[in-house]
A and B are shown apart, each in its own frame.
Chain A
Amino acid sequence: MSMIGLAADSAVAIAERRRNKPGRGVYSGRSRVALERNLMAFRSSNWIIVLSGFVEPLFYLMAFGFGIGQLIGGVTDGSGHPVSYAAFIAPALLATSAMNGAIYDSTWNVFFKMHFAKLYETMLATSLGPLDVAVGEISWALLRGLVYAIGFMAVMAPLGLIPSWWALLAIPGAVLIAFGFASFGMAITSYLKTFHQMNWINFFMLPMFLFSGTFYPLNIYPEWIQSVIQALPLWHAIQLERGFMLGNIDSSIGWHIAYFLVMIVAGLFFTTRRLTALFIK
């Protein structure tokens, strides 16, 4: 059997094509292969766990939107229009769906792959660079976020919670949200060393979900609490999706988008830096 050089496109030829590209020490332009690997592993993974992350926001929608919604009737949205309670919380739950999907993969799964499966160590022994790994893993987490969000939309439509075609913008919105959370989640996870520290992520996520203007408008809080919440990513996510779904498109949307763009770039930067420090030390 032939061992060297006979492959039409050898590993060396492939790597050398990037010889003069910037960032050649950290990136080989092949983050998709990390996605492929995840898809392979996913085919034989536990579907119940996957499904549970998706149905959770649905249960909230049923219990709060249609249960409690019966009691309180309607609310007014950001621009003063009256909307049904279910229509008010549905975009928030959509944003939460995207976040859950992205966080699920980018935190606990990444933690496992990093410290127990030694997957990144294996990947970085090949001609992949740390940025390939970071982008690949984040895209995978993003994909799950997107799938959850689309699934949620599919349930909302027959319930009459999608009022206009504008609402379709909520899907690219969900991509942005999932991307931001995936990127940031992976960056944070890459700095954590113990299960104990990982639990802090959960500890932080629940209150953020409950208090980010998810179930009622923010203005019932005193000013200072409002400011704190407005600094949190889920609040921006919810405002963005609520704006799209209810058709309130104004300049504040730009800020929410900018918030997530910063989150994405910062997450990618710190993840790459950390992976380099951890595995090419």
Chain B
Amino acid sequence: MIVARGLRKVYGDFVAVDGIDFEVRKGEAFGLLGPNGAGKSTTMKMIASVSKRTGGELTILGLDPNKRGPEIRAHLGVVPQQDNLDRELKVHENLFAYGRFFGLSRKFLKTKVEELLEFAQLTEKRNAKAEELSGGMKRRLTIARGLVNEPEILMLDEPTTGLDPQARHILWDRLFRLKEQGVTLVITTHYMDEAEQLCDRLIVMDKGKIMAEGSPADLIKRFASKEVLEVRFGSSKNIEIAEQIFHLGHRTEVLPDRILIYSENGEEDLQAILKLGLEPVTSLVRRSSLEDVFLRLTGRTLVE
């Protein structure tokens, strides 16, 4: 569906996307993760054919976005990071006008708009001006708007930022269903649980480059241990004590407030710590998550 080879984007003399390769297949949910400024939104915009690449190859559905912008965009649903609703229009008019931009018929849109209002849970607010909505409602409307043309590829740039937990879960559920119907999803997010839940495959970007690629489970296997033991000794003692327990686990990380020990069996390591006569204030054994992978790949000072 989407193929990028050596894709680059340069603003002035600043390299925002620095030669990345990836492929998105039909019907999969593809995630772009990375810290602020990694180049996620820039990549999304190039795919959405609203930003011209500086170098490399990019095709969407086999078409070149530089030449076939409008045609490609007809296949896409786009939810930008920043809501750009039409402030002068009412809620339902926002959906209607956007559908008309695609050339969809009034008749089709009449039912479609009702359906999307329901989906965004904004039926009661249908006659409010878009600018009168709360932040989360605006977000929901922007997401609903991206569905008006029944897209084959849905591009979501941090879709759930600003949503309450209920709305977040409803959206996840909805995205799952779209996926079942064969819609391809491209998602950026800063919520690792969301990426783990939604994405079949993802790339982790940093400073315009790809740091790793794979399924969430695969990445956890490759870049994190099975379990993580977190122990706290009080912020003044952490560093001192860490020296005594460096040998435990695959890897130890000392943070100001706690020590993380990456290992295959956290409980065993905890016993070993207690045997040394050390008494942590609190301790916690948990499974590794995508968050651990993310932090490892994109930096937080690591001590091997």
Please tell me which one of the listed residues A4, A7, A117, A124 contacts residue B152 in the complex, with CB atoms under 8 A apart.
A4
Mark A1-27 against chain B: 1 for CB-CB distance below 8 A, else 0: 111111111111011101100001111
A127 and B150 alpha carbons, distance in the complex (Å):
13
A218 contacts B by Cβ under 8 Å: no
List residues of A (114-130) whose CB comes within 8 Å of B's CBs: 117-119, 121-129
B104 contacts A by Cβ under 8 Å: yes
Please tell me which one of the listed residues B66, B78, B108, B129 contacts residue A125 in the complex, with CB atoms under 8 A apart.
B78
Would B87 and A117 count as touching, CB distance under 8 A?
yes
A30 contacts B by Cβ under 8 Å: yes
Residues of B within 8 A of A193 (CB): none
Residues of A within 8 A of B67 (CB): 25
Residue of A nearest to B180 (CB): A3
Mark B249-278 against chain A: 1 for CB-CB distance below 8 A, else 0: 000000000000000000000000000000
Would B147 and A41 count as touching, CB distance under 8 A?
no
> Which size bracket describes the interface of B in this complex?
35 or more
Chain A: interface residue total (CB-CB under 8 A): 45
A25 and B50 alpha carbons, distance in the complex (Å):
12
Residues of B within 8 A of A126 (CB): 73-74, 98, 101-102, 149
Q: How far is the CB of A274 from chain B (nearest CB, A)?
A: 15
Would B181 and A122 count as touching, CB distance under 8 A?
no
Residues of A within 8 A of B112 (CB): 7
Would B150 and A11 count as touching, CB distance under 8 A?
yes
Residues of B within 8 A of A56 (CB): none
List residues of B (44-77) whose CB comes within 8 Å of A's CBs: 48-52, 66-71, 73-75
Residues of B within 8 A of A18 (CB): 70-71
B227 contacts A by Cβ under 8 Å: no
B5 contacts A by Cβ under 8 Å: no
B86 contacts A by Cβ under 8 Å: yes
A64 contacts B by Cβ under 8 Å: no
Residues of B within 8 A of A15 (CB): 70-71, 73-74, 102-103
Residue of B nearest to A41 (CB): B88
Would B108 and A25 count as touching, CB distance under 8 A?
no
Stretch of A32-40, A72-80, A154-162, A204-212 lying at the B interface? A32-40
B205 contacts A by Cβ under 8 Å: no
Q: 13 A-B pairs, CB-CB below 8 angstroms?
A: A2-B150, A4-B183, A6-B150, A7-B104, A11-B74, A11-B150, A15-B103, A36-B97, A117-B88, A123-B101, A126-B73, A126-B74, A280-B50
Known: A1-B115, A127-B149, A281-B52. 19 other contacts (CB 8 A): A3-B178, A4-B150, A7-B104, A8-B105, A9-B105, A11-B104, A12-B152, A14-B102, A18-B70, A25-B69, A41-B88, A118-B84, A122-B98, A125-B78, A125-B80, A126-B74, A127-B71, A127-B101, A128-B70
